Amino acid sequence: MKTGLIFIILLPFAVHAQSKQDTAAKSKQDTTIKSKRPLQEVVVSAGSFEASDRAKGASLTPIDAVTVAGSNADISQALRSLPGAQQIGEQSGLFVRGGTGDETRQFIDGTLLKTPNYPAVPGVQQYARINPFLFKGILFSSGGYSALYGSAMSSALIMESTDLPEKTSASFSVFPSNLGAGFQHLAKDNKSSYGVNLNYSNQSLYNSIVKQVPDYFAGPSYSDGNFNFRIRTGKTGMLKLYSNWSYSHVGMRKPDIDSAALYAGYDVRGWNSYNNLSFRSYLDDNWKMELGAVYSYNREATANSLTDAKGNNASSSLPYKTASRDIHTNFAQARVVFTRFFSKGQALRFGGEHFYTGDKGRSNDSVLALTDHLSAAFAEGDIYLAPDLAAKAGLRVEYSSVLRKLVAAPRISLAYRLPDASQFNLAYGIFYQEPGNEFLYQQRNLDFSSATHYVLNYTKKANNRFFRAELYYKKYHTLVKTVPALSNNGNGYAQGLELFWRDKKSIRDLDYWITYTYLNTKRDFLDYPYALRPSFTAPHTTTVAIKKFFRDISTSVNVSWALATGRPYYNIHAGSISDQGTTKAYNIANLHIAYLCSFFKNRKWKDFSGFAMGVNNLFGTKQVFSYQYSANGQFREPITLPATRGYFIGVFMSFGIDRTDDFLNNNL
């Protein structure tokens, strides 16, 4: 497990939030555009969670994602406290409304984040590479998202990076397994800034104290750094550069399920570089232009091994146990979006983008290669049909060179505001996604997979309280099947109900929310012999997050609890199921405590510092996510957490910005 600084500032579910300097620098063009919007704007929000200045009572703020106990300052982990997301503890990524983790895509300033997580490790979650200090806003759309984005059948995580920091600042953290340091420098004229952050994590010491299963012979170790540069151009222009690079190494072994005398080993190394350049500016009072370009390089080298107790290679007798894979991926994207503003808050957005993906590598003795060009054009309009009725209608068209297919995806959302300021939202849309590269390596004669979304929700916010209820139905078409042959003959559906309640008002400095998710879904895909409930889904899920700040002792106490009914498991071999069942219920509670203080009160730079500690899976309940089977299917072993409990303790310091008020209820 990669643990991290728990109080890194991370801003989920916020869109269009502005920093203080950005707000102060609004131009005449911005003011003119705002004047065209109705004072009581109807926000079209079916299928999405949003936090912004205009939706403050309904939002999760920067501190929220970090202080949700158990999130480990990871975006995907934090989002699992919201309805629609499944409690998957053995895989990375977001599993939303019956979709796989690959069906959720992440976007930064409009461009795709191709590989958001460190390389996958069997049965152990790997965390996000991107520094959460980046973002001033995130829109988590669990269905029915905008036509400006694609390549995600289930969900889109749309992140907007910070423009200029509030002021020059520096940060430093020391945890037993992690070291982190960084700074942000704001120019004296408040028109440009630059910053660097470095982090190193090695879990060897921690794992020697807290016993892990499997046993790690390398790391886990993670190194990452990032650089950002931002400059305001003219009155309304903003140019931003962000570069991130990372390296990881994880090596582990455990007793082989097919032979008690042997050990199965897995070793993975990952190299990644991500570079994002974006520019936006108002051309005049009525036009806005947004440009984006991305280049990323990713390499993942994995090796399976089989050894005896002394570490000697024993794979010669069982060749199927030995495998190696080394894949290099180059990815690039260019994007342009124009927005034409009209009176009464109406707008038309249109543009296009092009994606390039080039894979080269090998799997054992086989050479793997893939080149794909995906081009897309899109248009979307915000229309006010009546004072209390708004619509968002769009169309996205995509062409894939590797599939040699063209698809069109219409999308529309409606919002109706009631007299008490509550609101109904309705959305419909078609969402396409290319098959994964592991399938395209084998066969190019495949088609896009698709999902059709229908979403209806009701929202009510008042007095720092927020309630949301949502119904949805999702129909899958042309999913990839691997048995009896590789094809697009799969299908499926997902339907359900989601509830969300948040109260920041009733008790001073107490903030809590409660969610409930009901999911009914079946799929016929991959090697499934017929339509089954997928092994990564639970029909009922509940989460609770409670955060209390004690002013007298300057201490924040955060508790989270998640409960999910059992997930199905199957042993599928040669097109038939030899064993199946349902795991025990998922039940986990987490506790985080932070004491806030200032170590250098009389110095020029006031610091925001403190001590943090926490326990994940506080009560030590055994979590069973699924089962691994032996080759003959006669034996199985549960896939569980690497350790019964997870712990952290450490010191964090931030110089230049006092964030104490962020912990108070009025600003949560």
Q: Rounded CA gap, 247 and 199, in Å?
A: 11
The letter for the amino acid at 206 is Y
Q: What angle do CA 28, 34, 37 make, to 5 degrees?
A: 155
Beta strand 607-616 with 586-597 is: antiparallel
Contact (CB, 8 A) for 96 and 155:
yes
Peptide bond into 132 cis (omega under 30): no
Select from 621, 619, 614, 487 the least CA-distant residue to 176: 614
Select from 518, 514, 516 the least CA-distant residue to 538: 518
Q: Rounded CA gap, 251 and 219, in Å?
A: 7
Question: Which parts of the chain sit beneath pLDDT 50?
Answer: 1, 3-41, 49-59, 318-320, 663-668
Say how far residue 548 (Cα) sits from the centre of its chain. Answer: 26
Q: Rounded CA gap, 179 and 201, in Å?
A: 6
Task: Please spell the DSSP secondary structure of 227-246, one letter per residue.
Answer: EEEEEEETTTEEEEEEEEEE
The per-residue pLDDT for 602 is 58
The tens digit of pLDDT for each residue in 265-324 reads: 999 999 999 999 999 999 999 999 999 999 999 999 999 988 887 778 876 554 445 589
423 sits in which H/E element: strand 423-433
Exposure pattern of 137-173 as b/e (b: 16+ CB <10 Å)? bbbbbbbbbbbbbbbbbbbbbbbbbbbbbbebbbbbb
Q: Rounded CA gap, 334 and 70, in Å?
A: 36
Q: Rounded CA gap, 140 and 137, in Å?
A: 10
Q: Which two tokens stand for residue 570?
A: 């199957």
Residues linked to residue 568 through DSSP beta bridges, in sequence order: 582
Q: Which two tokens stand for residue 276?
A: 């994002």
Q: For residue 510, give the 3-state DSSP assignment.
A: strand
Global pTM value: 0.90
Residues linked to residue 231 through DSSP beta bridges, in sequence order: 192, 239
Q: Rounded CA gap, 366 and 315, in Å?
A: 19
Q: Which two tokens stand for residue 363?
A: 């799997």
Q: Rounded CA gap, 36 and 561, in Å?
A: 44
Percentages helix, strand, coil for the chain (3-state, rounded to 5) are 10, 55, 35
The tens digit of pLDDT for each residue in 318-341 reads: 444 558 999 999 999 999 999 999
Select from 645, 458, 400 the least CA-distant residue to 45: 458
Q: Rounded CA gap, 626 and 567, in Å?
A: 8
Q: For residue 585, give the 3-state DSSP assignment.
A: coil
The per-residue pLDDT for 588 is 96
- What residue ranges in 96-177 does DSSP mark as E strands? 104-108, 111-113, 135-141, 155-161, 169-175
Query: What superfamily would CATH give domain 20-667?
Result: TonB-dependent receptor, beta-barrel domain (2.40.170.20)
Q: Which two tokens stand for residue 168?
A: 């020059």
Helix ranges (H only) for 373-476 are 437-440
The letter for the amino acid at 1 is M
The tens digit of pLDDT for each residue in 19-75 reads: 333 434 444 444 444 434 443 445 555 555 443 223 333 345 556 666 788 888 787
Exposure pattern of 430-466 as b/e (b: 16+ CB <10 Å)? bbbbbbebebbbeeeebbbbbbbbbbbbebbbeebeb
The per-residue pLDDT for 58 is 35
Read off the DSSP letter of residue 47.
T
637 sits in which H/E element: strand 636-639
Q: Rounded CA gap, 53 and 20, in Å?
A: 12
Residue with tokens 């993942």: 300
Residue with tokens 């409660």: 514
The per-residue pLDDT for 568 is 97
